[in-house]
Amino acid sequence: MSQSTSKARIRKAVFPVAGLGTRFLPATKAVPKEMLTVVDRPVIQHVVDEARAAGIEHFIFVTGRNKGAIEDHFDIQYELDRTLRDRNKIKELQLLEIDLPGAGQTSFTRQQSPLGLGHAVWCAREIVGNEPFALLLPDMLHHGDAPCLKGMIDSFDRHQGNIVAVYEVPDNETHQYGIVGIEQKGGDLGITQMVEKPAKGTAPSNLAISGRYILKPEIFDILATQERGSGGEIQLTDAMITLAKSQEFYAHLFDGDIYDTGMKIGFLTANLALGLAHPELAAPLRAAIKRMGL
Ligand code: G1P
């Protein structure tokens, strides 16, 4: 079968992790914001786990200066392994092994200047190559019974179009996100409109882009010449608007909870919610909350 008639498969995922984390200072002065822990693992591990659960085979990190800890986290730490083995801490060893992508399954490239999300994605073009790919914004933790990216890949297998995950936000918050307009399209939701951070009172809906995408490689050609948009940055949403003129875009309404761990309140809420969902920690955490008289 030729390339054009065979069904494409999503094998690669891009994680933009170059952001400075200014909303979370001083915690992020020396530690990448993606390495802050939610319950017992770094934020970035939660998001990589979501991608692995969806069948992703190659993990592409767009990093920046002072983000070396992320690269180290996805490598074997020989001294640590040796010490755990010597002390017969087999459970801990196994935990480290489970989390680790296989040899050759990670790539790291750098976004040299903070020019925006669109520019960060464009920095991954050579590693992604000419195939559709997943994009996951690590700040946004998606927590639910059905993992978000898995659901998106299932729907991509049906229609082979671009997909943007969305969730409902309060009307007074729409100016903080990319917002989409939708319509029913067969059994799926088609996107009719996209706008990055609309001015208050002008949003086409309250469906916000949640930070999970499946995109076709033609997005890279558009990003190459994309002008700066909202906030003076090269915006991915603006490039998607151009791509939507020639390709289909679908919305995936995520059925679960989303926490913006790049913000203090989102980070704290994520720790509480995932702690209360943790098999070993739920009961003692509930007891601790009760002792606080809440
Ligand atoms: C980015 C996207 C925006 C999306 C948001 C989700 O914005 O540009 O469309 O709604 O992530 O977190 P940022 O948060 O980088 O300003």
Which structural domains are found in the chain, ordered by start?
3-291 (3.90.550.10)
Locate the ligand 1 atom nearest the alpha carbon of residue 177 and give its number. 10
The reply to whether the predicted model has a pTM over 0.85 is yes
Q: Which of 167, 196, 209, 237 to mutate to test the pocket of ligand 1 (most atoms within 8 A of CB)?
A: 209
pLDDT in tens, 81-94: 999 999 999 999 99
Rounded distance from Cα 77 to ligand 1 centre (Å): 34
Nearest CA owner, ligand 1 atom 14: 177
Instruction: Compute the C-alpha angle 23/24/27, nearest 5°.
Output: 155
Locate the ligand 1 atom nearest the alpha carbon of residue 140 and give its number. 12
Confirm or reject: Cβ of 177 under 6 Å from ligand 1. Answer: yes
pLDDT for res 5: 59
pLDDT in tens, 207-219: 999 999 999 999 9
pLDDT for res 3: 47
Confirm or reject: Cβ of 18 under 6 Å from ligand 1. Answer: no
pLDDT higher for 160 or 96?
Answer: 160
- Burial degree of 278 (CB within 10 A; 0-12, 13-18, 19+): middle
Confirm or reject: Cβ of 36 under 6 Å from ligand 1. Answer: no
Torsions phi, psi for 62 (to 5 deg)? -100, 100
**Is there a contact between 34 and 98 (Cβ–Cβ < 8 Å)?**
no
